[in-house]
């Protein structure tokens, strides 16, 4: 048999293996779901799963990760921090309440190559995709939205088995296709796909030009759930857009900030020339070590102006201080991550989305008199050591003086927040904007306002009371 004929025969065999039987296809076609064709998922280690297409036709490669949120799939889908990734949703049915475009989280203003609010992720994996949503706010179904936006997606996958595999073996490259079923060809395409490590994905999701965001930009269609009025704009804040979520912009505005949003690589001198009351460092995708044009500017800003960083912004502040980052085995992604605030001793249930983390001991040596008399970092690197002892340890940093560990992840003992004691700056690894997720950490926007106002104890906030502030039901 000629090589081309042999290849075609193999592709035919692989395609038949991927497709349900003709009877199953006819049955599915008679349901409200309909039959959209076969799809395949292959991981870098050779794991293969078959399913059905539930989005756009095509082929997509990226790092396969998972998100444990029970709701908020549209906010996950449009979070720019997922650039370069294929997201697996662990909740069994996705799309049951449809999509309201007002909930979009991408704040990308659009350019000639990519439209405004366009999702940045590469693909999506679900167990069951609902095609007939039921919700008074829904404007479009999830599969129709995915098809419209060109996002390749697969359903019918045993997501429990996939997530267990990723937990055991780590996040890894993967490929979804509705058009290529030959395993050898898929493997070749996957080998040629770039790794997430070393890529600067921030430049693909950051704005290209300076623009403003204020109270007038808050979405009116969210007024049914939250207070329509933002706090009076008392602070002028410059925002480094590394792929910022719209919910974060809204949180800053509601805390009394008038925002000037700048590209990820804006020189510190240009920022300081705006004479801001504070600078915010946003979330964003990919490997933080590759975003050197941001953290080298942060180095120049520390000590010059109050700083607050979220997620990638936390990593930018850490790198500016000379710390090291590590790639986590499978990351933290979901709306149910427990974090201990070492200052208040409160546990916050947080929303998170990151695959890299701060190695806290690399910030410097412990200061025993400020760390409960302890002079050595825990040998195993598990920061729950400090949780058990009720201590918020402080290190001596060579560049910026004393730095305190403020928050710790209770699932794996990784660093979740730091505070510079000799300069007005703090950061957290998680997302306080609750889009999607709980509002336990909403107080951090208030803390930033207090920092800019010059309050020394700016993190001392009753989070149980603050998390209800601004919600309609809080005043009823």
Q: Calculate the CA dihedral of residues 461, 359, 83, 86 and round it to 10 degrees.
A: -110
Is 369 an annotated catalytic residue?
A: no
Catalytic residue among 354, 377, 431, 442: 431
Is the CB of residue 175 less than 8 Å from the CB of residue 191? no
For the record, the structure tokens of 450 come out as: 């207090």
* Residue 269: CB atoms within 10 Å: 10
CA distance 154 to 339: 32
Q: Are 163 and 90 in contact (CB under 8 A)?
A: yes
* CA separation for the pair 359, 140 (Å, rounded): 43
Picking from 346, 440, 441, 424, the residue whose alpha carbon sits closest to that of residue 390 is: 346
Alpha helices in 199-276 (DSSP H): 246-254, 268-272
Q: In the annotation, is 348 catalytic?
A: no
Q: Which of 166, 163, 245, 241 is nearest to 203 (CA)?
A: 241
Beta bridge partners of 403: 395, 420
- Which candidate in 207, 311, 321, 416 is catalytic? 311
DSSP 59: E
Give residue for tokens 């104890």: 457
415 vs 325: CA distance, rounded Å: 11
Q: What letter would DSSP give residue 368?
A: G
Catalytic sites, residue numbers: 311, 431, 433
């Amino acid at each position: 048999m000629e090589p081309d004929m042999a290849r075609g025969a193999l592709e035919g065999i692989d395609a038949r293996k991927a497709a349900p039987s003709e009877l199953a296809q006819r049955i599915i076609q008679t349901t409200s779901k309909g039959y959209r064709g076969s799809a395949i998922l292959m991981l870098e280690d050779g794991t293969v799963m078959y399913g059905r297409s539930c989005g756009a036709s095509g082929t997509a490669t990226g790092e396969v990760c998972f998100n444990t949120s029970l709701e908020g799939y549209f906010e996950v889908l449009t979070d720019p921090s997922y650039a370069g990734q294929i997201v697996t949703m662990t909740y069994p049915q996705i799309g049951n309440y449809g999509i309201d475009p007002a909930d979009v989280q991408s704040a990308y203003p659009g350019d000639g190559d990519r439209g405004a609010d366009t999702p940045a992720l590469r693909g999506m994996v679900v167990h069951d995709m609902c095609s007939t949503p039921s919700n008074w706010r829904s404007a479009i179904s999830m599969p129709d939205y995915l098809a419209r936006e060109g996002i390749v997606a697969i359903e019918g996958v045993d997501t429990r088995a996939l997530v267990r595999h990723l937990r055991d073996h780590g996040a890894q490259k993967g490929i979804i296709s509705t058009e290529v079923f030959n395993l050898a060809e898929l493997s070749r395409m996957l080998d040629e796909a770039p790794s997430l490590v070393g890529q600067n994905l921030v430049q693909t999701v950051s704005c290209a030009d300076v623009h403003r965001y204020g109270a007038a930009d808050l979405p009116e269609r969210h007024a049914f759930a939250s207070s329509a009025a933002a706090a009076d704009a008392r602070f002028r804040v410059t925002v480094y857009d590394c792929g910022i979520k719209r919910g974060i912009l809204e949180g800053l505005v509601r805390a009394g900030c008038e925002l000037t949003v700048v590209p990820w690589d804006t020189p510190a001198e240009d920022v300081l020339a705006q004479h801001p009351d504070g600078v915010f460092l946003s979330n964003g995708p990919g490997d933080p070590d590759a975003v050197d044009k941001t953290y080298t500017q942060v180095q120049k800003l520390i000590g010059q102006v109050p700083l607050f960083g979220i997620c990638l912004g936390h990593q930018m502040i850490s790198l500016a201080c000379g710390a090291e980052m590590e790639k986590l085995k499978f990351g933290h992604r979901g709306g149910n991550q427990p974090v201990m605030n070492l200052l208040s001793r409160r546990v916050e249930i947080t929303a998170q989305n990151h695959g890299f983390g701060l190695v806290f001991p690399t910030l410097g040596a412990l200061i025993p008199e400020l760390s409960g008399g302890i002079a050595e970092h825990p040998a195993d690197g598990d920061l729950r050591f400090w949780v058990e002892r009720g201590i918020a340890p402080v290190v001596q940093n060579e560049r910026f003086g004393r730095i305190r560990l403020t928050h710790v992840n209770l699932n794996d003992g990784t660093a979740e927040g730091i505070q510079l004691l000799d300069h007005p700056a703090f950061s957290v690894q998680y997302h306080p904007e609750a889009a999607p997720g709980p509002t336990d950490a909403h107080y951090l926007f208030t803390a930033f306002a207090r920092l800019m106002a010059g309050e020394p104890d700016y993190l001392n906030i009753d989070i149980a009371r603050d998390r209800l502030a601004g919600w309609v039901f809080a005043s009823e």
